[in-house]
Chains A and B, each alone.
Chain A
Amino acid sequence: DTGVSQDPRHKITKRGQNVTFRCDPISEHNRLYWYRQTLGQGPEFLTYFQNEAQLEKSRLLSDRFSAERPKGSFSTLEIQRTEQGDSAMYLCASSFGDSSYEQYFGPGTRLTVT
């Protein structure tokens, strides 16, 4: 399977714990995006990487959130001191090229904070 993969698919954690999600984009895709999707809503942009550089962060990305993309390949999204409001589906997408009109989404990581 050459699509975007995310791990884990589901994560249940207690409030206050730290969690980390991983995204493996499509090979050679230089652009990588993180979105958050809550129940009954469309995905909301969180952050964008071009290669290893994080070029844009949404105001939704509080100080408890950090994302990295070392060496421009896979990416991780870490949430520190999780809150119940962090419960959501976290989606990763990737794209390639200067136009980058089409973004390919992974299956998401569903986070439940109890």
Chain B
Amino acid sequence: QQQVKQSPQSLIVQKGGISIINCAYENTAFDYFPWYQQFPGKGPALLIAIRPDVSEKKEGRFTISFNKSAKQFSLHIMDSQPGDSATYFCAASRGSGGYQKVTFGIGTKLQVIP
């Protein structure tokens, strides 16, 4: 079963616009919510992350909004640029035997057009 649901699967945004990707989870044991960015031919790279005791985290043009009661979180990319074109994965992790076991969403392919 899909423990982390992500939408949309693809997104086209004009340069300068706002990109929004949404995720939802079921398991309340998750205690860390990272977002990964993946370019073609590369492995995923951590972009930004949030813990469930915080409702929002901002790093530059990237913001995570977190709603613990609804078990939902989202990534907002402000002033989207063509260089942001990539696949974005939301994820949720929980401690398991001393490490964080990460469950990924299906991914959102973002295309920013000039």
Residues of chain A having any CB pair with chain B under 8 Å = 4, 31, 33, 40-45, 48, 50, 55-56, 91, 93, 95, 98-108
Contacts and interface: CB of A to CB of B under 8 A. Distances in A.
Given A40-B107, A42-B89, A42-B106, A100 B100 contact: yes
Interface of B: 4, 6, 9, 32, 34, 36, 41-46, 49, 89, 91, 93, 96-107
Nearest to A100: B99
A41 B107 contact: yes
A98 B98 CA distance: 7
24 contacts: A4-B43, A31-B99, A40-B9, A40-B106, A41-B106, A42-B4, A42-B91, A42-B105, A43-B89, A45-B101, A48-B97, A48-B99, A48-B101, A56-B101, A95-B100, A100-B100, A101-B93, A101-B100, A102-B34, A103-B100, A105-B43, A107-B42, A108-B42, A108-B43
A20 to B, nearest CB: 19
B102 A45 contact: yes
Contacts of A105: 36, 43-45
Given A91-B43, A105-B44, A107-B42, A42 B107 contact: yes
Contacts of B89: 42-43
A76 to B, nearest CB: 18
A10 to B, nearest CB: 10
Contacts, number: 67
A102 B44 contact: no
A44 B102 CA distance: 8
B107 A103 contact: no
Contacts of A40: 9, 106-107
A42 B104 contact: yes
A100 B95 CA distance: 9
A74 B59 CA distance: 33
Contacts of A106: 43
Nearest to A89: B43
A108 B38 CA distance: 11
Contact of B99 (A4, A91, A95, A104): A95
